[in-house]
Amino acid sequence: MRANFFKSIGNYAIFLRQVFRKPENKRMLKKQFVIEIDRLIMSSIVITGVISLFMGGVLVIQTASNMSNPLLDKMLIGYMTRESMILEFSSTMVALILAGKMGSSIASEIGTMRISQQLDAIDMMGINSASFVARPKILAATVTSPLLTILSIVLGLVGGGLITWLTGMIPLVKYLTGLRYAFNAYYVLYSCVKTAVFCFIITSVSAYHGFNAKNGSLGVGRSSTKAIVTSSILILVADLLLTQLLLY
């Protein structure tokens, strides 16, 4: 088992080396890059927005229910909601959800190309199939995913504000004051960096499992499952390491 683990790490490193070799056709890479932005990022806006709205509302309700002490300023509810969304929820939670959406999509797409011998045909034409197929997906998700983080932060805070306004549990002015209190722009940058790293993990790991799919349609299903599970675990590990590295 230990030997298989290190073998997988080595194969993944070799795969990344193939992916980031000099592309044969830069024009085609740019075209595919734009297409993948639409397929991976733009198509994720709705699910990210809905999740973030409800996440912000839930954070406000839970924070308010645990701050019944009259000595505590209700402004802290807005402050804690903002910090929770920026530091953790808008990056890690959204990434875990995208691991299921993007990861399964990439792994199944590339896995189908593998078992139908489309990747072999690309290689036979003298084209680096890893770079041609996987590189645009990895670059598109890594470069543009911070936009999803910013959208998630904004909509999460809006969702918290809507719950505050609809329920009247705290004055809306107090919530807005808490959002502005002791704001640190570096935390937004930190969250965007985390999301970029997470999306690199999701796309590269999913592409790797797709390229190694075998045994027909059942193998494609297994590669999708492996991609989601592996990506989710690596996201949590990377979250711990990046938090330690960038915040302390």
Q: What is the sign of the dihedral through the CA atoms of 191, 196, 197 and 203?
A: positive
Sole residue written with tokens 């492996």: 226
Tokens of 114: 């593998």
- Among left, alpha and beta (phi > 0; psi -120 to 50; other), residue 117 is left
pLDDT at residue 69 in the model: 77
- DSSP code, position 248: -
- Report angle CA 87, 189, 59 to the nearest 5 degrees: 25
pLDDT at residue 70 in the model: 77
Could you say which residues of the chain have pLDDT below 70? Answer: 1-2
Euclidean distance between CA atoms 138 and 52, whole angstroms: 24
Euclidean distance between CA atoms 224 and 219, whole angstroms: 9
